[in-house]
A and B are shown apart, each in its own frame.
Chain A
């Protein structure tokens, strides 16, 4: 097999991994902090893509959409947090079920507003060129996605490891009760983490919009691999989300090339293997009895 070809696939895999990471990290850390499984996280992603469609049509500028659309998604997230999530605090199963109901509501809401059809968001003119790499050309926009993903990794790493809020979040994930006994306000940390996660889900939707088709149903399409990322990486940690995203992204890209017979099962097989040998994920954070 041609090394240049593998190089291009590596970039494709990295691009998918970064997108998965942006979605998984919010889901994973929110889950790690308060055991809240937000299935509607994928709905935020879908709304990010649709808001990008709306804003870039209104203004004709992708860059405006890149900033405005995720903020609109955060706004929806805050409304959801204040009206629903807060009300049912403490009951994790009910929270998961409510977000599950929202998945249905979001799906039809998108159909009501934008219709059933496929939409596409043009990539920004500034990045509508290809870069020669590995003896071939690679779309600059995809490199941009990788860049955004790496930037997110770096910012989150410093946010979690070097700031006070990050320390609070890590303490909360590690041992919630002890952290609360020490007088740490977990709820506030949770709210901020939730907003950051929602922002990243929206941002993921915006940057994915020019690459994938924007359509109702794009939520569940991304939800399954993202859940697998969380299961494989182990919930709660940045490192787990990075590792899980890389495993799933690469498996999904190289699978069809290297083992075509297994391509559609590969990520599920990997998940099954992780469940068999490391049921708490490859990089678990919890030390408690969970």
Chain B
């Protein structure tokens, strides 16, 4: 049961990736302060979101608490680098490790339930972190937040890179985002990734084949948790301000929305989703303060009328002009089966 969507050659995917990442890398050097901020935000969100797609679209674990791990990454980095004074080059891997460790523990708990129940439990676990961060006044400033300017960015001056420069930092984030994207593209093709896809499609059958399904789920949860911690660490480096909101449920929810609107289980879909989301957000924000209303409404419409997301629609459009359509049509139904599981 190897999902052919992963193995088959997909020119549309390549075109979209080259266009989007190309625009970001070409645009950054000529961008002003405002647009550099937007591009940095896109890069960080992208890292967060492809991790969610790995869980939601490939493993079938619909999480509504993934921002909790962003919080773990951000708070660990601040604690190790800003408060303990350990160099960021050591603190950053440790922050990612912290995300992985917390994800193993949380993963072992939450993967005991499945389906819609999983949504509830992940949401509650992330709110546990949020409510702790909200009250952690002593080292972290609680809900007032904590300014960490000047102590939190990686020092790469030895190789001639100054990350305090906004453009350099933006490019740094975009490169990491691209690498993480490629990491997941590779991961879903490995036997590990293929097994996760099989678990999503028919968990009982995979279990009957003697595969330790629980271990695989926790492993997937851990990878996604570590990547979210990286996104959190980059987020606090970018804003140089620590705030509990990094782990708030709205953040998790936005991540899930981007994945579904972009097209879950495709990795490239969420990339499209991220670009659109940030640009749409900035656009709507300047017109109205009721951004969440429009986002929620758009999300509902897409969930009902185009559950395969923007990328799914694009592929159908591109495919309908070519011949292969009939052959691959049944595979598109897969999204519905999965969502129902």
Asked if A75 is an interface residue, CB under 8 A from chain B, the answer is no
B132 touches A265 (CB 8 A): yes
Tell me which residues from 125 to 145 in chain B have a Cβ below 8 Å from any Cβ of chain A.
125, 127-128, 131-132, 135
Q: Mark A74-108, 1 if CB is under 8 A from B, else 0.
A: 00000000001001101111101110111111011
Contact residue among A39, A112, A264 (Cβ-Cβ distance under 8 Å from B131): A264
- Bound form: Cα–Cα A220–B120 in Å: 12
A104 in contact with B295 given A84-B300, A224-B124 (CB within 8 Å): yes
Q: Check: A276 CB closer than 8 A to any chain B CB.
A: yes
Count contacts between A and B, CB distance < 8 Å.
114
Q: When A104-B299, A107-B292 are in contact, do A264 and B307 touch as well, CB less than 8 Å?
A: no
- When C-beta atoms are compared, the residue in chain B nearest to A279 turns out to be B112
A102 to B301, CA, bound (A): 11
Total number of A residues with any Cβ neighbor in B under 8 Å? 41
Q: Are A228 and B124 in contact (CB under 8 A)?
A: yes
B1 part of interface (Cβ distance < 8 Å): no
- Contact assessment for A91 and B336 in the assembled complex, using a CB-CB cutoff below 8 Å: yes
Contact yes or no, A108 B113, CB < 8 A: no
Interface: B290 (CB within 8 A): yes
Give the CA-CA distance A230 to B339 in the complex, in Å: 22
Smallest distance from the beta carbon of A29 to chain B beta carbons, Å?
15
Q: Which residue of B lies closest to A112 (CB)?
A: B290
Give bound CA distance, A224 to B307, whole Å: 27
Report the Cα distance A100→B125, complex, angstroms. 17
Q: Is the CB of B121 within 8 A of A97?
A: no
Chain A residues within an 8 Å CB radius of B340: 90-93
Give Cα A98 to B256, complex, Å: 12
Say yes or no: is A174 at the interface (Cβ < 8 Å to chain B). no
The verdict on B109 contacting chain A, using a C-beta distance below 8 Å, is yes
B290 (CB) vs chain A CBs: closest residue: A108
Using CB atoms, name the residue of chain B closest to A27.
Answer: B120
The A-contacting residues of B in range 49-77, CB under 8 angstroms, are: 62, 64
* Residues of A close to B256: CB separation below 8 A: 97, 100
A31 nearest CB neighbor, chain B only: B116
- Cβ-based interface call for B253 (8 A): yes
Chain A residues within 8 Å of B296, by CB? 101-105, 107-108
Q: Does the CB pair B135–A264 fall under 8 Å?
A: yes
* Structural contact, A224 and B304, CB atoms closer than 8 A: no
Q: How many angstroms between the C-alpha atoms of A272 and B260 in the bound complex? A: 28
Most B C-beta atoms less than 10 A away, residue of A39, A90, A103, A104: A104
Taking the closest CB of chain B, its distance from the CB of A158, in whole angstroms, is 29
Alpha-carbon distance A104/B257, docked complex (angstroms): 11
Judge whether B120 and A227 touch: CB under 8 Å: yes
B116 touches A268 (CB 8 A): no
| B293 pairs with A105, CB closer than 8 A | yes
- Cα–Cα, bound, A108→B290 (Å): 6
Chain A residue with the shortest CB-CB distance to B129: A268
**Residues of chain B in range 290-313 having any CB-CB distance to chain A below 8 Å:** 290-293, 295-297, 299-300, 303-304, 307
Q: Is A64 an interface residue (CB 8 A)?
A: no
Among A87, A94, A279, contact of B113 (Cβ-Cβ < 8 Å): A279
Separation of A152 and B109 alpha carbons in the complex (Å): 33
- Considering the complex, give the chain A residue whose CB is closest to the CB of B121: A231
Q: Which residues of A contact B115 (CB under 8 A)?
A: 35, 92-93
| Assembled-state Cα–Cα distance A107/B250 (Å) | 11
A101 close to B113 (CB less than 8 A)? no
Residue B110 at the chain A interface, CB threshold 8 Å: yes
A271 proximity list for chain B (CB < 8 A): 121, 124
Select B123's contact among A31, A224, A264, A276, beta carbons within 8 Å.
A224
Chain A to chain B contacts (Cβ below 8 Å), 24 pairs:
A31-B116, A90-B340, A93-B115, A93-B116, A94-B304, A98-B300, A98-B304, A100-B256, A104-B253, A104-B295, A107-B293, A108-B290, A108-B291, A108-B296, A109-B293, A224-B127, A231-B113, A231-B120, A231-B121, A235-B117, A264-B132, A276-B109, A276-B112, A279-B112
Given contact pairs A108-B291, A265-B132, enumerate 14 new A-B contacts (beta carbons under 8 Å).
Answer: A93-B116, A97-B299, A98-B303, A100-B64, A105-B297, A107-B296, A108-B290, A108-B293, A112-B290, A220-B249, A231-B117, A275-B112, A275-B121, A279-B113
* 9 closest cross-chain pairs (CB), A and B: A104-B296, A108-B293, A105-B296, A101-B300, A268-B128, A101-B299, A37-B116, A93-B339, A279-B112
